[in-house]
Amino acid sequence: MTTQAAVPRHVLPVLVLAQFAGTSLWFAVNAVMPDLQRELGWPTAALGTLTSALQLGFILGTLVFALLAVADRFAPRLVFLVCALAGAACTVMAWAMVRHYEALMVWRFATGFFLAGIYPVGMKIAAQWYSRGLGAALGLLIGALVIGSASAHALRAIGDQLPWPTLMLGVAALAAAGGVLLYLTLGDAPGAVARVTTLQWRALASVWTDRKVRSSVLGYFGHMWELYTMWVLVPLILATRLEGPALSWAAFWVLGAGAIGCAAGGWIALRSGSARVAGTQLGISGLCCLAAPWLMHAPDVAFYAWLVVWGITVAGDSPQFSTLTARNAPPQAVGSVLTLTNSIGFGISIVSILLFVSLVDRVALGALIPWLAIGPALGLWALRPLVRTERQKG
């Protein structure tokens, strides 16, 4: 791989913009769910089911991509382009059939499948270009993913007076443009590891057999128990005080605040180490979960400050987990190891989302949210060896 000093200046901005555009597909339906519920009488549980359909598609996609070593056998920027265009097409079809719940679930599942060629492949491309400062680069890259995911709420707020299905077309166009931008403006990284021609079963096994990889992967799994369920619950939490465009804007700012944690965490990791940054943010987000019984009913200043801090830290550790895994994985299979890790992590997120959304109508949010802290607690336990190593290095 190249050193950071040799990377052209346009590489990181292009990666960030393309990742932002591609991942805007993630919550395109979630942003219009309040309208769907009002017009079509869908229950609250429909939000969890549709989100889980996309997550399930992503899991299958990442599993297929990992087992077939797609990101390591083919040019990553071509994989990114094809998947961005396909994901955009699926979102257009979801728009066309949005009133048919079963069809909408199918198209959201397909969107998730193609997102497997956007999120982890974007990280693979970043790892090819950056041999030093990968934590900072991934901080910006995953920060773009966070804003891209939150952008659907901003579109909903901006377009409150527009026919709501039209907003989904804007997201689809944005994703397609991101894929084209990355493909046309980035070549292959100089000195990148040659693409493999065979499946990398032994390399994939490093997720469990390599102590360093196992530590970061298990920490990531704890993070995933909390992250996407928190994102699904945020509009419901805000709905206890807000409605309409104000709710959409608040959801955008709370979820989008994760980009601050990603970018700032990447900058701090250059000095303190990725494991310590990941552990600190994971611990703070876990404390935010535990504080819910008190802060759900707190004055507005404390309530919104709690959500913003939670939004910053719940996503801010993600780039550092990916950095640790990419740094320690076998070089010839970084893309496949990252993709497999995503697959398992999102499987965990589905279980968490379905469990918590199914309980929303029966358990008060203040009593339910603290159980999300199970993930951060287990993640911190798994991360201990890497944190200890960084401390020993000073």
Over range 368-383, report the average pLDDT.
96
Cα-Cα-Cα-Cα dihedral sign, residues 324, 330, 335, 339: negative
Q: CATH number, domain at 261?
A: 1.20.1250.20
Residue 369 has pLDDT above 90, yes or no: yes
Of residues 64 and 303, which shows the higher confidence score? 303
Please report, rounded to a whole number, the percentage of residues in the chain having pLDDT higher than 70: 86
| Residue 359 placed within a domain | yes
Given a cut of 70, whether residue 382 has pLDDT beyond it is yes
User: Which tokens go with 306?
Assistant: 């709690």
pLDDT in tens, 215-233: 999 999 999 999 989 998 9
Lowest mean pLDDT segment, chosen from 1-10, 136-145, 266-275, 283-292: 1-10
Give 18-61 pLDDT, tens digit per residue: 988 888 787 666 666 666 777 777 776 676 677 778 888 988 99
Answer yes or no: is 2 within a domain: no
Domain encompassing residue 252: 7-393
CA–CA distance from 255 to each of 149, 216, 217 (Å)?
8, 24, 23
Number of domains into which the chain is organized: 1
- Nearby residues of 388 by Cβ (< 8 Å), 6 or more positions away: none
Instruction: Say if 364 falls within a structural domain.
Output: yes
Query: How confident is residue 274, by pLDDT bands cut at 50, 70 and 90?
Result: very high
Examine residue 195 and state whether it is found in any structural domain, yes or no. Answer: yes
Per-residue pLDDT at 2: 41
- Across all residues in the chain, what is the average pLDDT? 84
Q: How confident is the model at residue 3 (pLDDT cuts 50, 70, 90)?
A: very low
Position 1 in a domain: no
